[in-house]
Structure 1
């Protein structure tokens, strides 16, 4: 964890994010951190989440529900949000080269220098799609 002074609370937040695939909000992180640290404040959770994003140990995932969700997986990947239940999921895209070609396509008439992209996919998650078929 970077060159920061060790913090048990920060380490617990990192461990929590890394154990999840549902991209919790700061409120969800706070509720879960209170189980281990009953006196932790919501402000402390927000500050630690912001710091973890700043130093690259977490990703902030802005979603259409207006809430910021957090992801402990910092490897390049894309996200999906269900229009029905609001779930935020990682997508397992095996052909990342095709997605990266979008940078080249977007850069053709841009005049600047596109260095990356952030793509969000929307629709129905597997659970909701299955429920709608019933």
Structure 2
């Protein structure tokens, strides 16, 4: 049972959350920092990092741990999938595909783990990188 008090929504957290929810690019902490600095010029990078991690732990946002790349953040905390470009690292939401209904009880029995969540990531080449390949490439 979690008995932590609810997260206080400070002005800094509110601005970080608004900026993150205002984009679909899944920015890094450095990119969020640059967005937030336009509204709060004196905010520190450490404050942005700390608040992103705190909001991710509290379930207000998602932290995307992308293999071989920096952490990215998603303002949509709901269960949905992502597709990542293997060339440029771009990450996009996948809409229109319902989340997989995993047999959690069986997975727990087989693994011995108490499952908390799952994450599925698709990998491919984004439209911009495919366009840079030229006509007919990869067909």
Question: Which TM-score bucket, shorter chain as reference?
Answer: 0.7 to 0.9
SS of residue in 2 equivalent to 1:64:
coil
1:81 aligns with 2:87: no
Q: Structure 1: which 5+ runs fail to align?
A: none
Per the normalisation by structure 2, the TM-score is 0.80
Structure in which a larger fraction of residues adopt helix: 1
Q: d(CA) in 1 for partners of 2:53 and 2:116?
A: 23
Distance 1:28 1:5, change over 3 A: same
Deviation at 1:28, TM superposition (A): 0.3
Give yes or no for contact 2:69–2:89 (8 Å, CA) kept in 1: no
Deviation at 1:101, TM superposition (A): 3.3
Count of equivalent residues: 131
1:122 corresponds in structure 2 to 123
2:63 corresponds in structure 1 to 60
Give yes or no for contact 1:103–1:117 (8 Å, CA) kept in 2: no
Give yes or no for contact 1:17–1:71 (8 Å, CA) kept in 2: yes
2:39 corresponds in structure 1 to 36
Q: Structure 2: which 5+ runs fail to align?
A: none
Per the normalisation by structure 1, the TM-score is 0.83
Give yes or no for contact 1:65–1:86 (8 Å, CA) kept in 2: no
Q: d(CA) in 2 for partners of 1:84 and 1:56?
A: 30
Q: Which moved more, 1:104-113 or 1:74-83?
A: 104-113
CA RMSD across the alignment? 2.3
